[in-house]
Structure 1
Amino acid sequence: MSNLIENGRLIAFHPGYYVKEYLEHQNMTQAELAKRLQISEKDVSKLVNGKKNLDEKLIDNLAIALGTSRESWENLDKKYKIVKRQIEEENKIERDKLIQKNMDYSFWKKLGVVKDTKDASEQVKELRKFLKIVSLEVLKTDNFLVQYKTAVKNIDDKNIINANAWVQTALNIGNVKIVESIDLNYLKSKLPDIRNMTVKDPQIFLPELRRIFEKSGVAFVLLPNLKNSGINGAVKWLGDDKVLLAMNNRRKYADTFWFALFHEIKHVFQQKKGHIIISGDNESVLDSKIDMLRLENEADNFAQEILIPSEEYNSFLKKEDFSFDSIEEFSRKINIQPGIVVGRLQRDKYVDYGSSLNKLKVKYIISR
C-alpha cells in the first residue's frame, strides 16, 4: 500500500491513508470529495494513494470538507513526515552498513577522527560525518575522487570504496593544515636539502621536511595504509595558494619512501589545478581526464634523477660491481642512503629482489 511506509519497526501513515478511511466510513466516492474540494478526481486519487502531499490550502479545505479541525491534518502530516524521515534514515543506515563492512573502522579510530564505538550504526554516522558525505554509498561512485579504467577486471567495490575514503581522509587533514602561501621556487631550491635527508633518521628529517613543506605552501600528509585502497599518494591544489601532498606510509623502506616522496613532489610542480593526481599500486589502473601516463612517467624520471643522477649511475653500472663494498662506496660518494641504490638496482633488474644486499636497506618507523 503506497499510502503507508514501513520497515518492520516503524510505520508512517500518509494523511491520504486517513482520507481513504474517512471515505469508506462515510460511503463517499473520490469523485464526490473532489467536487467538495474543487480539485480534480485525479488529485484526490493521488492523495488517498499517498502520492500527493498536503499544502496549506489542502489542509484548510480538508478540514472544511470533512468536518475536522485544521490542526488534526497538520499533526497527521507532521507525524508522517517525521516517521518517514526516520524510516528512510534507518533504511539508508542499513544499506551503509553493508558498505561499512568493507572498511576498516580502526583506521580512522587510530587517526583520532572518529569516536571509539563498536556499534555499526554509530560507525556509519561517524564515517559519514568525517568524510563529509550524506551516505557511504557515495564512496562506491568510481568517479567520485578516484576513477579506475572500466576495462580493469580485478577492481571491485571494496577497492573503489577504500580508495575514495583514503583520498577524502587526506583532503580533510590537508585542508586544516596551516601553511604559508605557495612558493614553488622555494621548494625547488630546497630539493638538495631534502635529498640530503636520505642519510638521516626519520626522527631528524621529518621535522625538517615538514618545515620546508609548510614554508613552500604544501600541506604534507602522511597516512597509514588503508586495506584495499591501493593508493600510494595524492596531490591536489586546495585553491590557488595551497597544495596537498599526501603519502601512504606503508612502504617504510628508505628507497620506496624517498622515491615516492620525490615522485609526488614532481606532481606538485606539474601544477594540474582542478585535478586530483592519484598514485596507485602497479596492479591498479587509474583513469583521468588528464594524461596520467605522461605525468607518472615524468614523476618517475624526476624521482630517479634527483636520488641518483643518471651520469653517476651509468658510471657505476659500467663497473659491473654490485657488491656490498662497491654500493656503500658509491653511496658515500653521492651522499645517499645505500638502500636507495639497492632499490634502484633491483627495479632496473641488475640485482635480485631476494638478494642479500637487502641488508643495506633501512626500514623506517614513520608516524604521521
Structure 2
Amino acid sequence: MNKNEYNELIAFHPGYYISEIIEEMELTQEEFSKRLGVTPKHLSEIVNGKAKVTPEIAQKLSIVLDSSVEMWLNLQMKYDIKITEIKIQKERDEQIRIFKELDYQFFVKNGFIDSVKDTYERAKQICSFLKIADLAVLKRPDLAANFRSSSDSRSEKNIINANAWLEVATKIGKERTVGEYDAQKLKSYLPEIRRMTVQDPSQFSPRLNEIFAECGVAFVLLPKMKNAKINGVVKWLTNSKALVAMNDRMSYADTFWFSLFHEIEHVFQHKTKQVMISCNEDDMYEINKQYEDEADAFSQNYLIDPDDYAAFVSRAYFSKESVTNFAKHIGIHPGIVVGRLQKDTLIGYNVMNDLKIKYRIS
C-alpha cells in the first residue's frame, strides 16, 4: 500500500522510507512508535500508506532521525501529486477502454458531435453531448432502464451502447414540444395511423409526428446503434409527456408498423415509473411479460382483425394476388400480411419478400 504503480508511474508514500529506516535501525514498529511518540496503530497506518505524514509527524521524524521537516512534507506532497497523476491516467485509460466499446460513428454520422482524431477527446465529446461526467456512467445497468448486469464483456458492451442510444433518444424527446398527454385523442387517431400503412414515408412521417405531438407523445426515430440490441422504447419524461423512440432496424413495412402499434399500446398502459424496451435479446432487459404480451396482441389484432385473418387463412391459399387483394380489402400494406403469414409459419421467410418494402425514414 505504501508503493503504488501504474504503467510507468510509481508513487512512494513516506511510509515506504520510514519502513526501510525502521528495518535499518533494527527496531520493531512498536519500538519505533514509542520513540516517535505515537501509537503503534498510527505508525502502522503511516508505514502502510493509509495515513499522511502531517506537519506534526514530520516534526517528530525530523528530531528522531536528524532530518528536516521539509523533507518529510515534500515526500508527502510528491506522493499526493503522483497519486493524482495515477488516478487521472487510470480514469483516462478507462474512458478510452469504454469508448472503444461505443459506436462512435453513430454520433458523428448523425451530426451529434464533430469528428476529432484524439480518442480521449472523442470520449469527452460524447460525455458532453450526453451530459454525463464520464463514460463509466454508461456501464450502469440501471442508468436508463433495468438491464441485466453481467460480468460478460459482451453484455457490458450491449449495456453501454443501449444506454447511449436511450440517452440520445431521451435528449431529443425532451427537446420536442408536445401537448398534454391525451389517451382518448390518441385512440381516436388510431384508424388514421393504420391507414398510413399504405402511404409512402414522405407522406405519413410528418403527419405521424403531428398526431403524436398533439397527443402528448414525443416521437423519435433514430438510426440503430451497433451492439445496442435495442429496437424501441416507451419512457415517460413527465406524467403528461411520453417518449416513443424507435430505430431504423425496423425498416421493413411489416416490422415498422407492428413495432409502432406495439409501442402505442405501451403508451396506453401509462406505466409512468417503468421504461418499456423492445430488445433483440430477451434476457438483456427486465421485462414485464404481461405488458409485452398485451402490446404484441394489440398490435397484431389492430393491424389485422382476428376474424378477417381467420377467414383468410382458412382458405389455405396464399399467392401474391390473394395476399394483395386481402390487404387491399382490409386497408393495410400487403407487406404486413406477408410478415404475419411468415411469423405464423404459413409461408416461408423467403416467400413474397418483394411485397415487404423497405423504408428510409430516420
Identify the TM-score tier after normalising by the shorter chain.
0.7 to 0.9
Preserved contact between residue 14 and residue 72 of structure 2 (Cα < 8 Å): no
Kept in 1: contact 2:6–2:86 (CA 8 A): yes
Q: Deviations over 1:91-142 (max 9, x none)?
A: 2332443343333211122233334124333333334444455554554454
* Residue in structure 2 matched with residue 280 of structure 1 by the alignment: 279
2:209 paired residue number:
210
Equivalent residue pairs, number: 356
State the distance in 2 between where 1:275 and 1:261 align: 18
Task: Tell whether 2:311 aligns with 1:315.
Answer: yes
Measured after TM superposition, the shift of residue 360 of structure 1 is 1.9
Matched, 1:295 2:291: yes
Provide Cα deviations, 1:134-174, integer angstroms capped at 9, x if missing partner.
55455445455352498xx9974433333333333323333
Map 1:1-368 → 2, pairs under 5 A = 2-14=1-13, 16=15, 39-53=38-52, 58-59=54-55, 62-63=58-59, 66=62, 73=73, 80-142=79-141, 144=143, 145-148=145-148, 156-281=155-280, 283-288=281-286, 292-355=288-351, 357-367=352-362
Question: Structure 1 residues 293-302 or 214-223, which shifts more?
Answer: 214-223
Q: CA–CA distance in 2 between the matches of 1:341 and 1:154?
A: 39
Whole-angstrom CA distance in 2 between matches of 1:93 and 1:44: 34
CA contact (8 A) 2:141 2:149 kept: no
User: Which is worse superposed, 237-246 or 253-262?
Assistant: 237-246
Q: 8 Å contact 1:199–1:336 — kept in the other structure?
A: yes
For 1:20 and 1:96, how far apart are their aligned partners in 2? 36
Flag structure 2 segments of 5+ consecutive residues without an equivalent: none
Q: Percent same amino acid among aligned pairs?
A: 45
SS in 1 for 2:238: coil
**Judging changes above 3 Å, is the alpha-carbon distance between structure 1 residues 15 and 237 closer, same or farther for their aligned structure 2 residues?**
farther
CA 1:301/1:88 → structure 2, altered by over 3 Å: closer, same or farther? same
Query: Partners of 2:30 and 2:72 in 1: how far apart?
Result: 23
DSSP-derived class of the 1:272 partner: coil
* 1:274-309 deviation line (CA, Å, top 9, x unaligned): 22211112x532452x6x222111111111122112
- Taking structure 1 as the reference length, the TM-score comes to 0.81
Q: TM-score, normalised by structure 2?
A: 0.83
Amino acid at match of 1:331: A
Is the Cα contact below 8 Å between 1:331 and 1:337 reproduced in 2? Answer: yes
Which amino acid is the alignment partner of residue 224 of structure 1? P
Secondary structure of 1:275 counterpart: coil
Secondary structure, aligned partner of 1:267: helix
Question: Could you tell me how far apart the structure 1 residues matched to 2:327 and 2:75 are?
Answer: 79
Shift of residue 365, structure 1, vs aligned partner: 0.9
Aligned alpha-carbon RMSD (Å): 3.4
Check the 8 A contact 1:30/1:44 in 2, yes or no. yes
SS of 2:231 mapped into structure 1: strand
Superposed CA deviations along residues 19-62 of structure 1, whole A, max 9, x for unmatched, are 668989999996687568754232123224321136xxx33563
Q: More deviation in 59-68 or 234-243?
A: 59-68
Give the Cα separation in 1 of the matches to 2:57 and 2:222: 61
SS class of match (1:66): helix
- Deviation at residue 196 of structure 1 after TM alignment: 1.8
Tell which deviates more after alignment, 99-108 or 208-217: 99-108
2 CA distance for matches of 1:201 and 1:195?
Answer: 13
Deviations, residues 168-207 of structure 1 (Å, cap 9, x unaligned):
3323333333322322222222212211221221122111
Which shifted more, 22-31 or 233-242?
Answer: 22-31
Q: Distance in 2 between matches of 1:305 and 1:149?
A: 35
**Structure 1: which 5+ residue stretches go unaligned?**
none
**Cα distance, 1:350 vs structure 2:** 2.3
Distance in 2 (CA, whole Å) between partners of 1:273 and 1:324 is 43
Cα distance in structure 2, aligned partners of 1:185 and 1:225: 31
- Distance in 1 (alpha carbons) for counterparts of 2:71 and 2:170: 48
Residues 55, 69 of structure 2: 8 Å contact kept: no
